[in-house]
A and B are shown apart, each in its own frame.
Chain A
Amino acid sequence: MTRVLELSHITKRFGAVTANEDVSLHLDRGEIVALLGENGAGKTTLMSILFGHYTADEGTVRVEGQELPPGRSRAAIRAGVGMVHQHFALAPNLSVLDNVMTGTEPLWRLRSDRAAGRAKLVALSERFGLRVDPDALVSDLSVGECQRVEILKALYNDARILILDEPTAVLTAQEAESLFATLRQMTENGLSLIFISHKLHEVMSASDRVVVLRRGCVVAERRTSETSREELAELMVGRKVERPARAPAVPGRVLLEAVDLSLHGKGGASLHDVSFRLRAGETLGIIGVSGNGQTTLAGVVSGLYPPSSGSLSVDGRAVTRHTVPDAIAAGIGRIPEDRNAEGSIGDMTTWENAVLERIWSPDFSARGFVRRAAARKATADILARYDVRGASVDGRIRLLSGGNMQKLILGRVLEAGPDILVAAQPSRGLDEGAIAGVHARLLEARGRGAGVLLISEDLDEVIALSDRIRAIVNGRLSPAIPAGRANAQLLGLMMAGDWSAAERIEAETHDAL
């Protein structure tokens, strides 16, 4: 076998943070190597160095024996390296052909040779089984098709080595399967591939060899045929991970009650006559296809939008004014759906992000001035107690990885000791170890008597954590079923709006609630 790619002793530091340390990695012709690691393990940094987005502090990259000059994407492309990013870099208002050809022709050429481009594109898509209409607008394509275009873009540049960064992150299960079939076919045509992933099952099914990265270092390398999911999980996380299980609990008094909440036109989808009860020591899971009003529901309970009609009572008291500070003061802790856009301000410091939502409290301000020492101390406590890594109290927060950001958010919310917890998509985009941590915290809050409103698209998560489950469809809430009766088929029906079975179950179990 010929070695097509060799990274030797790559080290990359960002300030005090070491993203990659002495990483060596090679790829042979026709091979699929999976680069496995948790979020923040340094996978993407490593591939960015290979592709010339970053310059390594130490180490070299060789493609087919030739050393690549550092920091030059163009040199990498010319050497036959193609990269497919996790977030597509496509212009939605242009056709597939335009997107593929952009940047491949010199700017000073007056006419673009579209006929030749089209012929090449069609030939490539036939040869590699990447079917896509060259004249379709990218905005009309599905996510899976967009990814095909991204791959074609790399192949159009004569890539012989393809790097895919979390290629399945945005795909459905079927699309992912067909993608891996395509990738296999591509290696038979002489391509060599590296794909980045933190999903064990796809690593097991699609790769020839696995390189495991943890905290910037290569911790193991295995032939896929000689390893197991369990071993890889342990290598990736550094210890055995199991998602925590829910212990049975007897729900207490009603902490949060919504009666006929309606809201029109705020935060995307509307709500129609939403009623529910949340008791102390229970988790109410709300499932649903995104865009059905779950964001709005979380926003109303969080105090972001006042409902147009209906009432909300917290711990038996009817709420008249429900702004964000009111919600927090009433003991509602909020975990936002989008950590970066909603949960944090990237250019502010960690301590400012940690205390901003409770800055009005006497703990953190007096007479209109910030109690900086107290705020810093509280933040340092959160960082230590919730094991937030890679953060300093006075550093900007934008550097935190998703998992650590979520730990910080959990920390700032739970340190206030909320009675009610609104958790919207709490483990979205997190890796296995971080998910287990988030779940443990949510169960812990329930265990100490908080009511948890869990809004999630992840059915496994909802079944594992919730006592009762409702679906939200077009802004309406379905009947509640106990988690013990839930299965994928029933939840699927509920999310599709067929509530007959759920109604029957609710009627049967109503006494128990």
Chain B
Amino acid sequence: MRFERREHPSRALTLLAPVGAILAALIVAGVLIAIAGANPFRAYALILNGAFGSRLGISETLTRTTPLILTGLAAAVAFRARLWNIGGEGQFYLGAIAVAALGMIPAIAAIPAPIAITLCCIAGAVAGMVLLLVPLGLRLRFGVDEVVTTLLLNFVALLFVSLMIEGAMKDPLAFGWPQSVPVPDNTLLATLIPRTRLHAGLLIALAMAVLVWFVQARSVFGMRARAAGLNPRAAAFAGVPLGRTLIGVACLSGGLAGLAGAIEVMGVKGYVTTDLSPNYGYSGIVIAMLANLNPLGVIFAALFTAVMFVGADSMSRALSIPSYIADVTVALSLLTMLVAIFLAQYRIRR
């Protein structure tokens, strides 16, 4: 058996690859569910039912989808330019804590809500950017591998948040729980469906996906970023300013991850804790890969991931299968997606 490169991978195949990957992941995870002593079909039915079966289920799924779209986009734009940003988690937290810090300024509570919300979004995005620009600077200046630095900065960021919410930003009214002072009411995002947690952040995330797609597919910056990622030497010869392009990519990527954190604070919790993110940043990497780095595909990949997480919770209550099966399925889908991408580009010959 051997592999031959397809010179013209068909569009249908490229679109089918993630579907096939998810199916394969579900089959393998189904075997694990069966080993755990439950009927996989029933388990998946329960997962779907948990995620979509009720108004609450749907709203919870979409609430989860929101930050995942943004962190997925953050990874996708960076990876397109071969900037390996593994630091989405840290950028998410830094974005969140920036909003909480801004909310502590008394003047913020006094300004109209749209302006306050815009300011908070900017603060969160800028915080995320800064955290990614540091490793990028190290790479451009000294050639330090950003995979290592961005990954390790996640822990630095989380510990910094921990320091803040146990100290300077600790909420005195929280009965000693480590959480930040809540942000003022005028920065909270509107609820989309009454009596659920679903908030307007979903619309922001969707708008961002379309915007990022447009920038990537149509703008000079998008074309340069792709060129810089695919062949830096040829890009430099064609006059692409490599450093500046990567800085732009880093601002976009870090900004999106920071925005995810900001929106999670303003839309869901209202304050920061160290369990604000159930690994949204890391899941973003899987989502970007599942979407084949396509910004519009990120929406669907994020939805799939959210369905697995929300559905698995209710499935585990009914079947007493650990809800870790969601993590396993999502992780498997990353592996199967890598295989699917390969198969979409190569054909197997005997």
User: Shortest CB–CB separation between residue A484 and chain B, in angstroms?
Assistant: 34
Interface string of A348-368 (1 = CB under 8 A from B): 100010001101100001001
Say how far A44's CB is from chain B's closest CB, in angstroms: 15
Interface string of A310-324 (1 = CB under 8 A from B): 000000000000011
Partner of B227, one of A302, A304, A348: A348
A359/B223 in contact, CB under 8 A: yes
**Complex contacts, B227 vs chain A, CB 8 Å:** 345, 348, 352, 356
- Which of chain A's residues has its CB closest to B214's CB? A369
- Highest count of chain B CB atoms <10 Å: which of A344, A369, A399: A369
B236 touches A345 (CB 8 A): no
- Give the residues in chain A near B7, CB-CB below 8 Å: 14-15, 396, 399
Chain A: interface residue total (CB-CB under 8 A): 35
**B195 on interface, CB distance cutoff 8 Å:** no
Contact string, B1-37, partner A, CB cutoff 8 A, digits 1/0?
A: 0101001100000000000000000000000000000
| A336 & B237 in contact (Cβ 8 Å cutoff) | yes
With A324-B239, A368-B221 as given contacts, are A54 and B4 in contact (CB-CB < 8 Å)?
A: yes
Measured CB to CB, the closest approach of chain B to A330, in angstroms, equals: 12
Answer yes or no: A370 CB below 8 A from chain B CBs. Answer: yes
Q: Is the Cβ of B233 less than 8 Å from the Cβ of A370?
A: no
Q: What number of B residues sit within 8 Å (CB to CB) of A? A: 25
B238 adjacent to chain A (CB < 8 Å) = yes
Q: A15-B8, A342-B233 are in contact. Are A365 and B239 (CB under 8 A)?
A: no
Question: Given A54-B4, A303-B239, A357-B239, are A370 and B223 neighbors across the interface (CB < 8 Å)?
Answer: yes
Q: How far is it, in angstroms, between the C-alpha of A328 and the C-alpha of B242 when the chains are bound? A: 17
- Answer yes or no: A341 CB below 8 A from chain B CBs: yes
**Which residues in window 169-225 of B have CB below 8 A to A?**
218-221, 223-224
Whether A368 contacts B219 in the complex (CB less than 8 A), given A304-B236, A356-B227, comes out as: yes
Q: Does A497 contact B (CB under 8 A)?
A: no
- Closest chain-A Cβ to B61's Cβ sits at a distance in Å of 35
Task: Given A356-B223, A359-B223, verify A341-B231 contact (CB < 8 Å).
Answer: yes
Contact B8 A395 (CB under 8 A): yes
* Bound CA span A54–B349, Å: 9
Residue A55 CB within 8 A of the other chain? yes
Quick one: CB contact mask for B232-246 with A, threshold 8 Å, 1 for yes? 011111111100000
Are B219's CB and A345's CB within 8 A? Answer: no
Of A341, A369, A396, A399, the residue contacting B220 (CB under 8 A) is: A369
Q: Please state if B234 and A368 are interface contacts (CB–CB under 8 Å).
A: no
Q: What chain B residues lie within 8 Å of A347 (beta carbons)?
A: 230-231
Write the A1-30 contact mask toward B (1 if CB under 8 angstroms, else 0): 000000000000011000000000000000
A344 — which chain B residues lie within 8 A by C-beta?
231, 234
Q: Within the complex, which residue of A54, A323, A342, A346 is in contact with B239, where a contact is CB–CB below 8 Å?
A: A323
Q: Does B226 contact A (CB under 8 A)?
A: yes
Task: Specify which chain A residues have a CB less than 8 angstroms from the CB of B233 in the assembled complex.
Answer: 341-342
- Complex contact B234–A343 (CB within 8 A): yes
A55, B349: Cα distance in complex, Å: 8
Interface residue? B350 (CB, 8 A):
yes
Given contacts A352-B223, A369-B218, contact A325 B230 (CB under 8 A): no
| Chain A nearest Cβ from B202, distance in angstroms | 27
Give the chain A neighbours of B221 by CB distance below 8 A. Answer: 368
| A372–B218 CB distance below 8 A | yes
A71 within 8 A of B: yes
Chain A to chain B contacts (Cβ below 8 Å), 12 pairs? A15-B7, A55-B4, A302-B237, A324-B237, A341-B231, A342-B234, A352-B223, A352-B227, A356-B223, A356-B240, A357-B239, A372-B218
Q: A345-B231, A348-B230, A365-B220 are in contact. List 5 more A-B contacts (CB 8 A).
A: A324-B239, A328-B239, A341-B234, A344-B234, A357-B238
B interface, CB within 8 angstroms of A = 2, 4, 7-8, 218-221, 223-224, 226-227, 230-231, 233-241, 349-350
> Which 7 A-B pairs give the minimum distances between C-beta atoms?
A324-B239, A357-B238, A345-B231, A356-B238, A325-B239, A342-B237, A15-B8
